[in-house]
């Protein structure tokens, strides 16, 4: 296992759409392990493969309940709405208010190729959405609510 470099700011790979993982092989398993190490080293709660320069649909998340590995994740259900501050390991020092669903259900494969669904609320729901956005070339700064709009509420 290794710590990988986290792509930052205007790195063009962060804006590309990741490809579906067709075969879960040793390269994908190593990627998952390296991503977990990298996320923990950076003190993050989630990391998507494009953030370490790999355009594959792979995500790791840990909001304090243990690591979750997601291969080919898709959000299949969402409800509610919460506006809260968000940041990103690829955009250090930047944060902003983003509206995300209060609850989501994500469908993905585990490291053995088994399909599963996991529900998340609050921070976990936010992390699922944030990381799946990364796989589609979307950064949280694309969704930040301007301060003027927040003050009107």
Q: Is the pTM above the cut of 0.85?
A: yes
pLDDT at 149: 76
Interior/surface letters 17-42, b for 16+ CB within 10 angstroms, e for the rest: ebeebeebeeebeebbebbbbbbeee
Radius of gyration, alpha carbons of the chain: 15
Question: Has 131 been annotated as catalytic?
Answer: yes
Q: Is 53 within a domain? A: yes
Which CATH number is 56's domain given?
Answer: 3.90.45.10
Mean pLDDT rounded to a whole number for the chain: 96
> Which two three-digit tokens encode residue 24?
């879960």
Residue 77: which domain range?
12-152
Cα–Cα–Cα angle for 113, 107, 54, nearest 5°?
Answer: 65
Residues of the chain with pLDDT under 70: 152-153
Half-sphere exposure of residue 147: CA atoms within 13 angstroms, side-chain side: 1
In a domain, 1, yes or no: no
Residue 143 forms part of a structural domain: yes
Domain annotation covers residue 123: yes
Per the structure, the count of domains in the chain is 1
Catalytic residue (choose from 12, 85, 86, 131): 131
């Amino acid at each position: 296992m290794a710590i990988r470099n986290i792509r930052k700011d205007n790195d063009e790979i962060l804006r590309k759409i990741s490809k579906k993982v067709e075969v879960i092989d040793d390269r994908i398993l190593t990627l998952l392990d390296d991503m977990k190490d990298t996320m923990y080293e950076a003190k993050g709660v989630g990391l998507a493969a494009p953030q370490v320069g790999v355009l594959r649909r792979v995500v790791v998340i840990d909001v304090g309940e243990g690591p979750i590995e997601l291969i080919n994740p898709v959000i299949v259900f969402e409800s509610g709405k919460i506006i809260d501050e968000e940041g990103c390991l690829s955009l250090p020092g930047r944060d902003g208010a983003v509206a995300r669903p209060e609850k989501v259900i994500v469908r993905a494969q585990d490291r053995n190729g088994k399909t599963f669904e996991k529900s998340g609320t609050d921070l976990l729901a936010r992390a699922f959405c944030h990381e799946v956005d990364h796989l589609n070339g979307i950064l949280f700064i694309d969704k930040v609510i301007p301060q003027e709009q927040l003050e009107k509420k």
